Amino acid sequence: MSLREFPADERPREKMLEKGASALSDAELLAIFFRTGIVGMNAIELGREVLRHFGGLRPMLDASAEEFTDIKGIGAAKFVQLQAALELGKRYLEQSLIRDEAFTSPERVGRYLQAQLRSHQREVFAALFLDSQHRLIQYRELFYGTLDSAAVYPREVVKEALRCNAGALIFAHNHPSGVAEPSQADRSITLRLRDALSLVDIRVLDHLVVGDCEVVSLAARGML
């Protein structure tokens, strides 16, 4: 059944205009993205098939170009468009941090860091370099590791903080396992970084561990 044959209030575009994007299912959002279906499937059915193929929205968004274009009727252009949409989302979150005081918006910081780090297949250690008013100067991924660890060098962090003229830092790293529970090693490196940066009057405000569904703050756990 073509989408043109749907009642007006059930067509994804009209539904979004009337009720907002949050009222649409994942398949309906994909239908707007795909614009058209393929032979034997309208755009919503194609969206459902893509979600079924990958096992959900998250695995689909993490798929490589080869995996994504392996689906019948989905070409490289759609993959490129999807990656562009994801990058726009990341930049929107970053701009919201630039406008506001980062440390006074921990939920916004957490969403931004999830967008940046959650899809990495290896551990990545990153930092938000902040000015004296805790506004974002720069986000940087500093160290890359294996599946479950990344070597972190305090001297390099101090050098980068001085280069940015930062007044404070928020650290973050992902757990590729998806579990955001901080380890003793996470606390240990955070304390080493805090002590090293304190020598040049730069504060460490927090260290966030990013998992699949949550972000855990070491400061909130009393581990900093």
pTM of the model: 0.65
Among 55, 74, 93, give the residue marking a domain's end: 74
pLDDT one-digit tens code per residue, 184-199? 888 999 999 999 999 9
Residue 5, classified by CB atoms within 10 Å of its CB into exposed (0-12), middle (13-18) or buried (19+), is exposed
| pLDDT for 3 | 64
Pairing relationship of beta strands 168-174 and 124-130 according to DSSP bridges: antiparallel
**Residue 87 lies inside a defined structural domain of this protein:** no
Pairing relationship of beta strands 203-210 and 168-174 according to DSSP bridges: parallel
**Residue 83 lies inside a defined structural domain of this protein:** no
Residues 133 and 56 in one domain: no
* The pair of three-digit structure tokens given for residue 121, joined into one six-digit string: 């297949």
Banded model confidence at residue 178, pLDDT cuts 50, 70, 90: confident
**Residue 79 lies inside a defined structural domain of this protein:** no
* The pair of three-digit structure tokens given for residue 158, joined into one six-digit string: 């101090």
- Which among 10-24, 68-82, 135-149, 169-183 has the top mean pLDDT? 169-183
- E strand or H helix at 203: strand 203-210
**Residue 94 lies inside a defined structural domain of this protein:** no
Number of domains in the chain: 2
Banded model confidence at residue 36, pLDDT cuts 50, 70, 90: confident
Q: What's the rounded mean pLDDT across residues 81-101?
A: 74
> Which of 154, 151, 142, 143 lies closest to 194 in space, CA to CA?
154
Domain containing 117: what range?
102-217
| pLDDT for 147 | 60
Q: What's the rounded mean pLDDT across residues 67-72?
A: 84
188, 210 Cβ separation under 8 angstroms: no
* The pair of three-digit structure tokens given for residue 99, joined into one six-digit string: 């406008």
| pLDDT for 105 | 64
Residues 127 and 63 in one domain: no
Q: Which residues contact 32 (CB under 8 A, 6 or more apart)?
A: 12, 13, 16, 24, 43
Grouping H, G, I as helix, E, B as strand and the rest as coil, residue 213 is coil
Banded model confidence at residue 88, pLDDT cuts 50, 70, 90: confident
Among 54, 74, 94, give the residue marking a domain's end: 74
Among 56, 74, 92, give the residue marking a domain's end: 74
Residues 194 and 126 in one domain: yes
CA distance 219 to 224: 5
Residues 127 and 184 in one domain: yes
**Residue 82 lies inside a defined structural domain of this protein:** no
Residues 66 and 110 in one domain: no
**Residue 131 lies inside a defined structural domain of this protein:** yes
Residues 163 and 109 in one domain: yes
Task: Please report, for the domain that includes residue 134, its CATH number.
Answer: 3.40.140.10
CA distance 65 to 76: 7
Mean pLDDT of the chain: 84
**Residue 188 lies inside a defined structural domain of this protein:** yes
pLDDT one-digit tens code per residue, 146-177? 766 678 899 999 999 999 999 999 999 998 88
142, 156 Cβ separation under 8 angstroms: yes
